[in-house]
Structure 1
Amino acid sequence: MASGSQEPSLILRDLIKKSKLISEGPPARYRLLTTRSNLEKDGSVRKWTFGQRDINMQNKILLMVGETGTGKTALINAMVNYILGVKFTHEVWFEITEEGGDHDKADQSKSQTTEVTVYEVFAQDNPICLTVIDTPGYGDTRGTDLDKQIAENLFKLFHSDSGVKEIDAVCLVVKASVNRLSDRQEYIFDAVLSLFDKDIKDNIVIMFTHSDGIPPEDALNAIKKAKISCRKDEENEPEHFLFNNHQTKKKSPKYIKAFQAAWELTAESLNHFFLSLKEQNRKSLQQTESVLSESKRLEICISNLQSRIEFVECKRKELLQIQKALEENRENIKRNENFPFTVTEHYKEKCQFKMLHGRRNWNRQNCSYQCHGELYTGVKFTHEVWFEITEEGGDHDKADQSKSQTTEVTVYEVFAQDNPICLTVIDTPGYGDTRGTDLDKQIAENLFKLFHSDSGVKEIDAVCLVVKASVNRLSDRQEYIFDAVLSLFDKDIKDNIVVLFTHSDGIPPEDALNAIKKAKISCRKDEENEPEHFLFNNHQTKKKSPKYIKAFQAAWELTAESLNHFFLSLKEQNRKSLQQTESVLSESKRLEICISNLQSRIEFVECKRNELLQIQKALEENRENIKRNENFPFTVTEHYKEKVPIQNASWKDGMATTCSVCQENCHEKGCWLSPNAGWCDVMKNDHCTSCTGKCHYTKHVRENKKYRRRSREIIVTFDNLKIQYESSNKSASDIQFNTETFQYVKKEFESNKKQEAEKTSVETRLKYELIKNEKHKSELVEEAYSAFKKLCKIALKPDSAFILQCLDFFIPRTEETGKPVLAQKLREMRKIQPESQERVHAAIDYAGARSKKMKNVTDKS
């Protein structure tokens, strides 16, 4: 990087003496031995210094701001190495930290505190020295109080006699791969920029990390869309610099060119950045100090005003209490009588208080095979052309946007002249759509059709999971998407699943790979037992300006080389038939429909049990009336089924398959494709797999009506109950409390037993009905267990969010029916490996949140 008058070896030898070895290389990592000083007695503002300052040095003072995970710490260390004169060929890397401290742990600790840290670096024979102000913790999930403390600590730094009085640049750190700023990022930047006066605007610049050297158009648009105040360049774009974050990684010979390109990108950007810090542009923080002082005074003033208003309101309530007491005692006042009354008195008292510190825990693609046709068809970088595949005469960009809002599965076929390989890509857009998980189920339905159709896809070479190379953890949405996709396949497909890393700079994406491994994504492993992955760059369509031509060519070559390796990895003998996957999809769909039906039936059984318990309670409360042979009325909430028209449903939910014998909805949601009940998804071997009686398809109808569970309160008499219980073969749950039934059985009852026998008969029959009810519920749970067991045996993802959510419904019901062995087996199915818990719960939480959001939208509409 920067050069000195001495030989590099001599400079490095001196630096190494003043450092502590962290790890062997290349590059060998060293921690600079620094001295620490507290600018505030409480340690809220601290300074770490390396080297000794010369009065002739030009000091560059920077304030670094960025969200955790953007690579801010790595960027600070890159600046330190630049100042120290380290070059790529030296194969060393220095990190700055407290003397004798653990830098990695210190960083983690820093991110959880409100301490403002100042780094000072004075390099031998370098006329430039560096002061970096690091503000960790902005946007901490524990609330805005910590952000206020950071602002307070910045105020101390600017106000202190030994603090910072001037600044050259406020650096906002953002990943180059973002296409929108998160709410948290916007909050962080807004919080920081609010600390300064308007005069600081031209000193604010953007630092794009994890860059591949190509202009980050999407990230720049995100900055502009967020209206971030900053300096503009000659093209009226936000002033920005590109940095790569791979300097500390072990430089294997296989990737040496990519590592060198990354190093040179950062070195060149730092050179441009420091040249841009002109002396006349330095800003005094006197005005900023004034803004912070005024902000602090205003905050204290508002806090005081709130307290005073609250006290005034309390005193008003006190006066109103007195007024009310006087109103209530007017007669006593007229008689000149003394009387007591109670008043809540509000007063102030000076007391001691404690500061409490705490931490709130923050935890809480689809079968997408992306390939660029132009590379496949033989297009090279020097051809300066690019082909896209789309509907003839269509607008590809608009089509893409439309695709992402639908559940359509698109198949692309490419046959290139004189190329022995042809390409079929199945694209499944829309997974994880914010409108809810119902759309994801429709995508699964569409995949099922593709695999099931005579003209559809019967074999597959690869299932490609697409992830950005810059991620360091999978989001809840990504984990939900992958979980949903992998649950569609059987175990046989595992070795055909690979990971495609996009927005890559050509260097091994260690953080992203760790995220894949941490999420326990099932996929093929390479010779190093790592998830099989390929690196791709996404800049082929951008305008290739001469300034960045090398970066564009490197990006093209990276993608071309990766595609070559990828296609070579698709060996013919590894191709998998989708016959078993088709079976999994069919069984999965039938299971889902079956479980939906079972849940509905169990809920109805539970309602009928409550009905029986109401009758039982009424008999207990009227024992004396029964003994005296007296008739008495009581109220019962009757539950029944009624077939009603389907209303306010989507076209896919506008039809339902129902059983006229069992009076059940065999297939309620998404029953739109089948021409008649015989072709419905629930039918297997001409019989229904869903309804209670497993009836023949001819007993079913498919229409725009379905059964609904209804309830109503009815008045029942004991005489009516006795007649129907003893003289009819009907169970209590089948009783229709109406006059016709009563008249029908009245004659038979006249010759029945005497009153005590009558009482005994009714209670015995009622107990029998309750036992029968529980037995029925138990049978339903056993039926569900059999279905779960079968699916878990063949599915690649037996711990999918769907299966676990269903188990959560059935496990407590199994326990209620007194089957501890079966309940234990279901709990065993429910068990998640500790390393998979975060992934599975994230998927469940995401699905639940999306469903809840959709329910709210539906309710509002």
Structure 2
Amino acid sequence: MKSSKLPMRGIYNDTCVNEALSTNSKSTQDDSQKPGQPQVTNVSFDTITLSWRSPEIFNTGDFFQIGYRDLDDSRWKVYVGEYHQSTHTLTNLKSNAKYVFRVRAVYSDIEGPYSDVSQVIETKSSPASRYIALCERIGTATPRRYRLKMQEVPSSKNEKAKSKKYQLGSCSTQNVKEKTMLLIGETGTGKSTLVDAIINYILGVNYDDNFRFTVNDEDLDRAQNQSMSQTEWITCFTIHPEEGSRLPYSLNIIDTPGFGDTRGIKRDQAIVEQIRQLFCARPPQGILTIDMVCCTLKAPDARLSTMQTYVFHSVMSLFGNDIKKNMCSIITFADSSSPPVLSALRDSGLPFGKHFTFNNTALFSDNTEAQKEGPSPRSFWEMGVRSFTSCFEHMKTMPERSLQLTQEVLNERRRLDATLERMQPIVEFGLTKISELKRQIQLFNDNKTRIEENKDFTYSETVYEHDIQDLPKGIHVTNCKHCNVTCHDNCVFADDKDKMNCSAMDPNGYCMKCEDHCIWSVHTNSPYLLTMKPVKKEQTFFRMKAEFDKAMGKSSNFKDLLNKLALDLKKIADDIEVNMETVNKCNTRLAEIALCPNPLTMTEHIDMMIHNEKTVKKDGWSDRIEALTNLRKRALVKADASKFQAEAGSHGVSGGSTNPDESQTERITCFTIHPEEGSRLLYSLNIIDTAGFGDIRGIERDQAIVERFRQLFCAKPPQGILTIDMVCCTLKAPDARLSTMLKYVFHSVMSFHGNDIKKNMIFSNNVC
């Protein structure tokens, strides 16, 4: 038994033994209680694995303590923990440092003597220690801070989208795996400091090291307004693995500008556009896959504010729903592993995923002074190391995700926003026109006798006139020179050569906002906005009738006048119906594929944000309220359009209703019939049905049809066609002579084909 080996128990320390014991007694005790000298079995840049012989009397319930001393320090320290095996790996040691170790056993009622001191053991060089000589020191703080010199990748820089890439090291083999993490969140949550912490972790920096690395410009950060995002560009930092790295793969860390700063909604929309361009561009300027999307939050926030709720709805609405399992939460400024913000995350109902806690105040804090009160920087550092280890282990379990569905979400959102923006003035104009129609019907009915007696009278009417608004310096717009309208009122692209990248353009370079969907090259940056404003004008019945008679080419009567008003209304109804169809398709598709709905399409979110701005009143709050109010109007466009359709319907006007003088076909539609057993054709036949030329809506309508043809012929499959076998021109059999209109129609049709199509033209007599 253990007691039979111990003639006497006592407390041992580093400097003395029990002088009452005899020399022989001490020797017996030392042999039975003293572990063997620690031997090294493995060394890395920050770990040392030791083993030793257990004392004879060491039993279950006893444990070992490990003492260590850095040869640059005269003090012995105890490595925290109780160890029940005669081997252990010590972690978080300094690189390029010399250590000695000793071990003692702690029994149930006694602390045994320390072992003989080990040989001097030196840790290896970490990647971090190898980079110091190449870096520039910043300031005089302790620990020393160095700006890490990373190599910019010129081919990855996108000036238009404000995205760039830096890399550290190089890929030594083609077999090295690559993983990508995206940091995204509200301004002030510490994303950029987190980037520094990740890089220090990967390079093997430990708490006791007398240096730290940064990739951020600290002087600039201090000078800037703290309520604004310190990050203007999307920046990708690629850290390649090398000997001693904590990660065996290349890691891409994508740092994004912060949402929700004092510049308001328009700034957030610009960030969304930056992210869309990053995700939609091909490498090296874009990315195709992602492994982890990290939402950054501050630990003390026990409840998400209105702005935070908006920010995270905005962030998650960018992604396809296949990203849900790749979402995680990075909680900063945490004092513990269970911060108050966790309850807010649970209550939000948003897919925040697994969380990891950090307090990066420890990153650059002085590590030479003991903390007198509160949690120590060392404990924060160790919490961060544990969280990083857990985070990157979790990343291993996540499947790499293609951004294809996310690209579709972003493009659908872009198309929806462009359509709603285009619809807003049309709907407002339509509702005004309905009021005008009601008033004029009443006016004409009240003056029916005068009209029939051909007597003049005066009335007021609302007309829409072009209004030019000068812009402040630094604000750019996209104006269509052909349609004479503003297609994008706050564009990041000032150079006309870059207008193809404007958010108003579709992927093929055609404007989604101007009436004729013009090519990007007829758009320009101007120092003014072009808008339509309502103006009240005095009008006389005779003047109005003369203008109408001239347009019709004949003398008109009372019924003709009312029909003209209804026809004007129908044009608006047709336009709204076409746009509503696009809106409904976009919303349906986004409901299927988006991770979350866009909060800026939900009036309740916008109302809460307006209320919050009125309450808090931070600098620039009135400008932000104005922007939010405009967005609220856009969010209500669909409801206003439905109201317009109901009002127009009450007057017998509806978009898309049939009229023998108007084409029944609004879109170009391709019907593909594939062959099967018994078919009369042995090949697949594509029948392309087009809108009819020459209806009563006039030349502008025909020009719009020509533009649709051009887009069909210029787009790549599957949205366009590359070849054609037969062009069929349809005519009515009774037409013994081509009228002026028919000649115009067929000249129009044939003018947009090349002369190589001549032998592929046929005429078909329509006797239906």
TM-score of the superposition, structure 1-length normalised? 0.44
Between Structure 1 and Structure 2, the one with more helix by share is 1
TM-score normalised by the chain length of structure 2: 0.49
